[in-house]
Amino acid sequence: MERVLVAAALVGLAIAVAAVLRRRSPTDPPTQAAWTVPGQVDRGDFDRPEAPWLVAVFSSATCLSCAGTRAKAEQLASAAVVVQEIDAVERRNLHQRYRIDAVPCLVIADHEGVVRASFLGEPSAADLWAAVAELREPGSTPSGCDHGRAHHHSSR
């Protein structure tokens, strides 16, 4: 009987010590990625500001997925859609101005420079093309299509 009481006392002491230690060392919240995507761009900073749509690919020469993003975006170029790559070294001023801190960062902006959709990371060709098609002609993609990782900005 004496052994059971000693064992119970030790278990109780261990629980009390664990509770005190848990209160003393608060856990840090999980790290959250907080990359920024501009909500507005100055079309004068980019090629063909008169074009109805801009697909801007913020990239870096050292980024492997940037080349794939650029290649997919280039397929969208037309009279209505200007596609431009903005390299982090060559156009550092634009990366800083728009606070681009992760590449590839692709933004789709309208004629006023309002960013209507964006992708962080390399999008699939289908997601990118569907996002541009839906922005240019609403209702052209099946309902419920979320275009993968695209973030759509609400219209003004």
Domain ranges of the chain: 43-152
Query: Looking at the domain that runs over 43-152, which CATH code has it been given?
Result: 3.40.30.10
What pLDDT score was predicted for residue 35? 79
End-to-end distance of the chain based on CA atoms, in angstroms?
77
What pLDDT score was predicted for residue 156? 35
What pLDDT score was predicted for residue 1? 76
Consecutive 10-residue runs of the chain (156 residues): their mean pLDDT?
71 70 65 80 96 96 93 95 96 94 95 95 93 86 52 43
**Edge-to-edge strand ranges of the sheet holding 115-120:** 81-87, 53-59, 105-109, 115-120, 151-152
Backbone Cα Rg of the chain:
25
Cα–Cα dist 100/10, whole Å = 56
